[in-house]
């Protein structure tokens, strides 16, 4: 049985179902990190490590020793804590009713009821209450990200025009990159930057000498995809982080870049695969007209149906459809244009209306049919297949720019959250035995 596929919950849920660790096996809890006024517990860290190990196995990535995952997983938990704390400060809440709706949707995606979903969790040795809170945290993180980051991202027509004006054949290429980041805090001095660069140079040396890129990313990268082996998945050239956009097209499959300096620190990328996605886009459109008659205070459903049949008979006998529409139609949007609905692609109309016009040939008139709006008589004027390549391309470019801007803004936002937080480690890690980071 697969677990849910909600965007931010997919990883969490898939790996939770793969994880058969029982609560009885968890050690006595202790605090492993203090995050502002909250804490991260040993049991949470252990559970998250096991989830990550299962995820890596699912991706076919060799699982490093637990000690190699510990600091990365703990850092991820800390960032999640900071995001849920910010959500609370912003007044974002996920009440039990809404949470139940999310969990019911998750169960539905797996073709089981919520009760069966809960029972499956129990069979896997998982505590349903703990899973509920993990899902709540994921939804909170999604909401606060949209509020703090997504709502500030604006893509203008000028952005799209500029991207298209500077486009090349490479814009039809998608790249799959792996990524290692050595982060540099905002406002870092020369000494801190030099230390970060030296670390990045060392990691670059390791991967170029045959070190496993994914393993090194898991152990050492500060990127958001570190625990996925640094995998950035498939992205169009104009959807790559700005710092990578000019580098990736020049790499050969399997080639590793030089150090790439960006606002967030020092980056290393590896081109895993690339593919061409160029194609023409066409769209089939229908131009139809209709007469809508709806029940009202003076005309009940039966009388309305009768009027629709009478109007249909008049059209069939040769009266002008547009003239009848102007006189009798109750659709204010098309009445004055003789019922003309203009050129429309599939899916614009209500399902019943779409099915009715799809069944007609040009110049054919439908029998009266009913929708939620009332009784319709429809006529197809003509059909066409239009080349929508440029339109579709603008849409893809607009989406890609938005995704890139949001990803860059999200990275900066997370860094700010982290830099401003008070974090005290109470667990010995390779990087910090018991260090603290005061609020800035």
What domains sit in the chain, N to C, each tagged with a CATH number? Answer: 10-148 (1.10.4030.10), 159-279+391-421 (3.10.50.40), 283-386 (3.10.50.40)
Q: Which residues of the chain have pLDDT under 50?
A: 1-27, 169-170, 429-440
**Rounded-to-integer distance, Cα 51 and Cα 54, Å:** 5
The pLDDT value given to residue 10: 43
List the 31-35 sheet strands across, edge first.
38-41, 31-35, 423-425, 436-437
Confirm if 230 and 209 have CB atoms less than 8 A apart: no
DSSP element (H, E) containing 284: strand 282-293
pLDDT for the residue 263: 83
- Predicted pLDDT at 428: 60
Distance CA 10, CA 4 (A): 6
Q: In this predicted structure, what is the pLDDT of residue 373?
A: 92
The answer to whether 433 and 38 have CB atoms below 8 angstroms apart is no
Give, for 174, the enclosing helix (H) or strand (E): strand 173-183
Q: Determine the pLDDT at residue 171.
A: 64
- Cα(276)–Cα(265) distance, integer angstroms: 30
Q: What is the number of helices (H) and of strands (E) in the chain?
A: 14, 12
Q: Rounded CA gap, 125 and 24, in Å?
A: 9
Beta bridge partners of 177: 271
pLDDT of residue 203: 96
pLDDT at residue 24, as a whole number: 42
CA–CA dist 432, 96 (Å, integer): 37
User: Are 260 and 241 spatial neighbours (Cβ–Cβ below 8 Å)?
Assistant: no
Q: State residue 430's pLDDT score.
A: 41
pLDDT tens per residue across span 109-157: 878 888 998 888 888 777 788 888 888 888 898 889 888 888 889 999 9
Burial track 120-137 (b if 16+ CB lie within 10 A, e otherwise): bbeebebeeeebbebbbb
């Amino acid at each position: 049985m697969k677990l849910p596929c909600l965007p931010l919950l997919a990883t969490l849920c898939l790996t939770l179902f793969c994880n058969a660790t029982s609560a009885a096996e968890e050690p006595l809890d202790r605090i492993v990190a203090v995050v502002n006024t909250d804490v991260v517990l040993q049991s949470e860290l252990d559970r998250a490590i096991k989830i990550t190990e299962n995820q890596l196995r699912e991706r076919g990535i060799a699982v490093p020793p637990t000690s190699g995952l510990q600091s990365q997983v703990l850092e991820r938990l800390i960032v999640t804590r900071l995001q849920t704390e910010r959500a609370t400060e912003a007044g974002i809440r996920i009440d039990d009713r809404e949470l139940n709706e999310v969990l019911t949707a998750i169960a539905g995606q797996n073709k089981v009821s919520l009760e069966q979903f809960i029972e499956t969790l129990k069979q896997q040795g998982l505590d349903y209450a703990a899973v509920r809170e993990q899902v709540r945290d994921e939804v909170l993180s999604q909401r606060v990200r949209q509020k703090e980051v997504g709502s500030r991202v604006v893509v203008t027509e000028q952005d799209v025009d500029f991207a298209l004006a500077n486009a090349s054949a490479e814009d039809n290429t998608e790249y799959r990159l792996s990524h290692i980041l050595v982060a540099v805090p905002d406002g870092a001095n020369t000494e801190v930057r030099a230390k970060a660069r030296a670390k990045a140079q060392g990691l670059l040396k390791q991967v170029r000498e045959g070190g496993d890129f994914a393993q090194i990313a898991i152990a050492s990268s500060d990127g958001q995809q570190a625990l996925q082996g640094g995998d950035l998945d498939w992205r169009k050239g104009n959807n790559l982080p700005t710092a990578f956009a000019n580098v990736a097209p020049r790499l050969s499959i399997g080639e590793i870049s030089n150090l790439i300096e960006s606002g967030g620190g020092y980056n290393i990328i590896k081109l895993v695969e690339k593919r061409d996605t160029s194609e023409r886009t066409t769209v089939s459109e229908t131009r139809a007209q209709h007469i809508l008659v709806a029940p009202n205070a003076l005309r009940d459903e039966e009388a309305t149906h009768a009027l629709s049949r009478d109007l249909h008979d008049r059209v069939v006998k040769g009266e002008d459809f547009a003239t009848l529409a102007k006189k009798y139609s109750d659709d204010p949007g098309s009445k004055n244009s003789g019922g003309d609905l203009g050129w429309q692609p599939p899916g614009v109309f209500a399902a019943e209306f779409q099915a009715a016009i799809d069944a007609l040939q040009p110049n054919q008139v439908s029998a009266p049919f009913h929708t939620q709006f009332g009784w319709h008589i429809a006529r197809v004027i003509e059909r066409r297949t239009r080349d929508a390549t440029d339109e579709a391309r603008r849409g893809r470019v607009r989406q890609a720019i938005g995704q890139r801007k949001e990803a860059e803004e999200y990275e900066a936002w997370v860094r700010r959250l982290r830099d401003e937080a008070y974090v005290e480690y109470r667990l010995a890690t390779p990087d910090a035995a018991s260090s603290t980071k005061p609020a800035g």
